[in-house]
Amino acid sequence: MKKLLFILLAASLFACKSNKKEQAELEFGYQEKEIKPETYYSEDVTFINEKENFKLAGTLTVPSREGLFPAVVLISGSGAQDRNEEIMGHKPFLVLADHLTRNGIAVLRFDDRGFGESEGYNPDATTESFADDAEAAVNYLLSRSEIDKAKIGLIGHSEGGIIAPMIAAKSNDIAFIVMLAGPGIQGKDLLLLQNALIAKSMGASDSIVEQSSAINKQLYEMVCSIDDKKELEDKATETVRQYLSEIPTALKNGKTDEELIAGMIKEINSPWITYFLRYDPAPALEHVKCSVLALNGSKDLQVPSQVNLDAIKNALEKGGNKDFTVKELDGLNHLFQECNTGMITEYAIIKQTFSPVALNEISDWILDRVK
């Protein structure tokens, strides 16, 4: 995820020292350079978001020019992402699409709205808006003669893992979904956990983490309960100003209090963060009747594994879903790389883009359901 979700206070108010010994490259194997797309059919495509009438651009890979194939749409995490979900020198969706296509599954991946070759930039877009884009991708697959219309699935990473069940809960066209580090708890609760874990990983003291968590909780509750933007801005400004007065100048990264306040208020007043903080994935998950695979890395600091997997499992059980697999993958981070710590600073220095263990878990599970 390029935004890495929003770390409103926990990591933005202090400069933490990283362990220089961790800056050596971590080498675990799977590289984009190993990909040879000529072994299957690849086509650049465009399709239309009919609700807002703009073009989305992507790449469709199909195992062969002849035949009828199961297919998936890849849905990226938060922030502007290209069709490969490129982040910190890695292209996880390119690797995932290559692996799945080599295993007989067609894949459609696309540039997010307003990014890459896709149209539709809208500063007020929310997770729900991005779900409309993914639905447009599904509709495009339904129009292709080489796609088995009864075997179309969704694979969503991080925020995309919220979107997949949103669509599946209301669509009969979805045969299965895969949630990769998909949240199972409400956004405000997820960000509190995320902020604290990331801050600790960056070297923040317990007192800073506690202070940040306290102020974040107040701000998130305000966002979830106050609809009037001016009222929210006034109350949030007062709260943040009081907090900043207790923070040493050395920990403010060279910014004035007014600069810090302005940045934070802009973030919490944005339509995306408002929607995300308020959204609870449980109701949608309770209505998902198709097959579900939920995977999380045990060292994920952005979507902590156990609490989110437990919430997903509980929601699916409550809704009476008859076919779901919830699994933690040992030693993997938020990007599904094999890692040492799970820290965000590791993402770029790990040579591996996507763990082969995770790739095989995904493809084996899908193939078992579409055979």
- Residue 237 CA to residue 234 CA, distance in Å, equals 5
Q: Which residue has the tokens 């969503």?
A: 156
Structural domain boundaries of the chain?
A: 29-185+280-370, 187-277
Of 138, 146, 151, 160, nearest in space to 367 by CA = 151
pLDDT at residue 37, as a whole number? 62
The predicted model gives 141-154 an average pLDDT of: 98
pLDDT at residue 340, as a whole number? 96
Task: Indicate the range of 115-124, 166-175, 208-217 predicted with least confidence.
Answer: 208-217
pLDDT at residue 12, as a whole number? 38
What's the whole-model pTM score?
0.91
Asked whether residue 305 carries a pLDDT value surpassing 90, the answer given is: yes
- Residue 174 CA to residue 178 CA, distance in Å, equals 11
- Per-residue pLDDT band for 267 (boundaries 50, 70, 90) equals confident
Per-residue pLDDT tens for 325-335? 999 999 999 99
User: Helices 229-244 and 206-225 sit at what angle, rounded to 10 degrees?
Assistant: 170
Asked whether residue 237 carries a pLDDT value surpassing 60, the answer given is: yes
Half-sphere exposure of 149 (CA within 13 A, CB side): 9
| Tokens standing for residue 49 | 């978001």
Query: For residue 345, how many other CB atoms are within 10 A of its CB?
Result: 15
Q: Give me the CATH topology for the region 29-185+280-370.
A: Rossmann fold (3.40.50)
Asked whether residue 25 carries a pLDDT value surpassing 70, the answer given is: no
